[in-house]
Each structure stands twice: as C-alpha cells, then as structure tokens.
Amino acid sequence: MRFVFLAIVLAFPLLDLYATVRVARWTGVPVWAWLGTSLLGGFLLLANERLAFRANIAAAMHGEQSVLRGLLDSGRKVLAGFLLLLPGVISDVFALVLLALPLNVGRRFEPQAAAPGRGGAARGEAIDGDFRRVE
C-alpha cells in the first residue's frame, strides 16, 4: 500500500507535465507560458494570503468572525497556491476549482448595519470629531 501511494505521488507531476505539453500543443501557447503564468499566480496568491491571514486572525481575536472560518478560508487559498506552484495544467485546474468552491461565503447578501460589532461605538463609547458645514 505504501508503494502504491508513493507511485501515485511520483507519477502525478509527470502526467501533469505530459498533459501540459499536450494542451500547449493543442492551443499553440508555449509550455513556458503555461508554467510561468501558474507559477506567478501561485506566488502572488501565497503572498496575498500571508497578509490576509494576519487580518483574519486579528478579526477572530476581536470577535468579528470565527477562528475556524478564517483558518478554513486561509487553508483553502494556501492549498490552491501550492497547487498553482506545481507544474502542470491538471494541478492548475484543481487549484481553480478549489478557489471557486463557495466554502466560505458567510452570510447571505443582505443589508447590514454600518459597523456591527466593530470599533468603540458598538460598545457604547463616544466617537469624538469635528463638524463643519460646507456650502
């Protein structure tokens, strides 16, 4: 069983590269363009998610969203980023499907209050400011 799993893991990148060459030949786009575009997309997705993960954890610490929701969303994007880094069209399709899944859509699209649970005004504190009428 161990060797079957190892054979599958080692054969997937080779089959993926073979499929990429076939798709590149079919579409007329060079292989390096397919591989370079997915590599760049994977790096950009991972870099963006690194910053977004901090914001998700900070929002979870403030009670604005659940920790599980932030971890699920970040884990999904990181896995998609790693799949984009793998050379091949099949792994890119898996990554795009993973990004397109509506796993973390949250609430329905409906009108909400301007700042539910955020800032000092929600806790009953006053917000200081200046008022000036412009005519």
Residue 49 lies in a domain: yes
Per residue in 77-126, pLDDT (tens digit) is: 999 999 999 888 899 999 999 988 876 555 554 454 555 555 445 556 77
Residue 122 lies in a domain: no
Residue 82 lies in a domain: yes
Residue 126 lies in a domain: no
Structural domain total, the chain: 1
Mean pLDDT of the chain: 80
Residue 52 lies in a domain: yes
State which residues form the domain around 62: 2-103
| Angle between helical axes of 31-61 and 89-100 (0-180°, round to 10) | 30
Query: Are 41 and 84 within 8 A, CB to CB?
Result: yes
Give the integer Cα–Cα distance in Å for 123 and 127: 11
Residue 131 lies in a domain: no
DSSP labels for 33-78? HHHHHHHHHHHHHHHHHHHHHHHHHHHHHTTSS-HHHHHHHHHHHH
Residue 98 lies in a domain: yes
Residue 111 lies in a domain: no
pLDDT at 105: 56
